[in-house]
Amino acid sequence: MTEGAEPKPARVVVADDQTVVREGIVMLLGLLPGIEVVGAAGDGEEAVELVAELAPDVVLMDLRMPRCDGVEATRRIRAEHPGTQVVVLTTFADDESLFPALKAGARGYLTKDAGGDEIVRAVRSVLSGDAGLSPSIQRRLLERLSDPEPPQPVAAEAPDGLTAREAEVLALIAEGLSNQEIARKLHVSTATVKTHINNLFAKTGIKDRAQAVRYAYAKGLVRPPTGGVT
């Protein structure tokens, strides 16, 4: 490349299961300098296949997709095609979306309110070996690292097929916390808390929060307070 010449555009694949959103992102990227969209995938499985076929520089990856979600697709891409970087582009910024994606190998993480300039910066950052994180995600990481770990459920093994996080939510319900308080304590969105509650109610047959409290004590997820009632 001669001095002063423009660098080659970054070759990008877009993965998003919503057709309108995917086409909108592709259209936006087509207007941005330094980016060439070489493919678009409707789910994680297709994203992995396109990376194998096209060897793009970067995949802009949604997280919640059918067949193969964005976290699993990221893990497979980074393991099988280490020359391709992954930047997550998603609606969700809660811990249960952010940290699994980063652990799977994503080098960037943006929410879908990111502007074109922010996407370009993230793509260039990951290609240069840096992290492409939005300012809000950087703050979230700092907050998470500075906060103490939330308490874990008392029981070593959750009953009735509950996940560890569902058991944790159930224990916090038994402690009298509202959905909003649980969300703040666990650093997730209230929508995520509601999803956990719906799942644990379905698994246990619990109908309301009063039953949830009784169940949590009966299964040893929380311990009764010490001392008698005066």
The pLDDT score that the predictor gives to residue 160 is: 77
Residues 150-177, mean pLDDT to the nearest whole number: 74
The pLDDT score that the predictor gives to residue 4 is: 54
Round to whole Å and give the CA distance between 32 and 199: 42
Mean pLDDT over all residues of the chain?
84
What CATH fold (topology level) applies to the domain 164-218? Arc Repressor Mutant, subunit A (1.10.10)
Residue 183 tokens read as: 């969300």
User: In one letter, which amino acid is 137?
Assistant: I
The pLDDT score that the predictor gives to residue 230 is: 39
Round to whole Å and give the CA distance between 145 and 127: 26
What is the three-class DSSP state of 109? strand
The torsion angle over the Cα atoms of residues 132, 185, 169 and 105, rounded to 10 degrees, is: 10
Query: CATH 1.10.10.10 region(s) of the chain?
Result: 164-218
Residues 192-206, mean pLDDT to the nearest whole number: 90
Residue 156: pLDDT band with limits 50, 70, 90: very low
What is the three-class DSSP state of 15? strand
Domain 10-145: which CATH number of 3.40.50.2300, 3.40.50.300, 3.40.190.10, 3.10.105.10: 3.40.50.2300
**CA count, 13 A, side-chain hemisphere, 221:** 25
The pLDDT score that the predictor gives to residue 5 is: 56
Query: CATH 3.40.50.2300 region(s) of the chain?
Result: 10-145
Residues 90-98, mean pLDDT to the nearest whole number: 78
Residues 27-50: tens digit of each pLDDT: 999 998 889 999 999 999 999 999
Residue 201: pLDDT band with limits 50, 70, 90: very high
Place of tokens 């980074």: 78
Residues 96-150: tens digit of each pLDDT: 778 888 888 999 898 888 888 899 999 998 998 888 877 767 776 666 666 555 5
